Amino acid sequence: MLKGIINYSHYLMEGAVNKGDTVIDATCGNGHDTIFLSRLVGKDGHVFGFDIQDQAITNTERVLAQNGLTNTTIIKDSHSNFVHHIPVDKLTRLGGAIFNLGYLPGSDKSVITRSETTILAIEGILSHMKQNGIVVLVVYHGHNGGDLEREQLMRYVRLLDQKLYHVLYYGFINQKNDPPFILAVQKRN
């Protein structure tokens, strides 16, 4: 079967990220991706997870502890400030980042990611990323404000220089109710 959106986002990370890499979970949410990334980079790698909501920080730290995963640092701050929280020796090993854009499932729908800070974060991450590193954006856009973030994000990634980056769109186009899709940006050799 064709891979669904979440499976495919993990498949892309597996294809680009190596053991020992630093990775960023730009939107911890309920910690599902944080767990996946922690296992992906292994004991010599490190995950920096960001979220601006207390509930997300609490949930993520709890599931990490339940799974005995210690190669992680969870930070309550905007992902656009990532550079202030990652030591230089770890930043030079940045191999990937994942964003789940939209709102925290099961929480306040008025707290949403916004294109200005999302794009700031992507730009910063791309500038520090290793060659072949990847930024995977899982774009939920059915909520209030989601269409605006989607359009501004699409405009931004379409203009990334094709000599420096591959930009992939992966999505199911016959589904009702604004299903999420993937934008992936990979830094070329």
Residue in this structure with the two tokens 């589904």, named with its chain if needed:
175
Q: How far is the CB of 2 from a second copy (least distance, A)?
A: 5
Q: How far is the CB of 161 from a second copy (least distance, A)?
A: 8
DSSP annotation string for 46-109: EEEEEES-HHHHHHHHHHHHHTT--SEEEEES-GGGGGGTS-HHHHTTEEEEEEEESB-TTS-T
Identity of the residue, 61 or 178, whose beta carbon is nearer to a second copy in the bound complex: 178
Identity of the residue, 118 or 186, whose beta carbon is nearer to a second copy in the bound complex: 186
Work out whether 184 is an interface residue with a second copy (CB under 8 A): yes
Among 12, 26, 47, 104, binds a second copy (CB under 8 A): 12
Tell me, by CB under 8 A, how many residues bind a second copy: 27
Q: Hey, is 128 helix, strand or coil? A: helix
Which residues neighbour 73 within 8 Å (Cβ) at sequence distance 6 or greater?
Answer: 46, 47, 48, 49, 85
Identity of the residue, 2 or 88, whose beta carbon is nearer to a second copy in the bound complex: 2
Site string for a second copy, 153-172 (x = CB under 8 A): -x--xxxxxx--xxxxxxxx
Work out whether 142 is an interface residue with a second copy (CB under 8 A): no
Among 73, 107, 132, 152, binds a second copy (CB under 8 A): 132
Q: How far is the CB of 61 from a second copy (least distance, A)?
A: 33
The pairing of beta strand 22-25 with beta strand 46-51: parallel
Identity of the residue, 28 or 135, whose beta carbon is nearer to a second copy in the bound complex: 135
- CA–CA distance, 181 with 91 (Å, rounded to integer): 28
Residue in this structure with the two tokens 């030591």, named with its chain if needed:
87
Residue 76 · residue 54 · CB < 8 Å: yes
Provide the binding-site residues for a second copy, judged by CB under 8 A: 1-2, 12, 15, 132, 134, 154, 157-162, 165-176, 184, 186
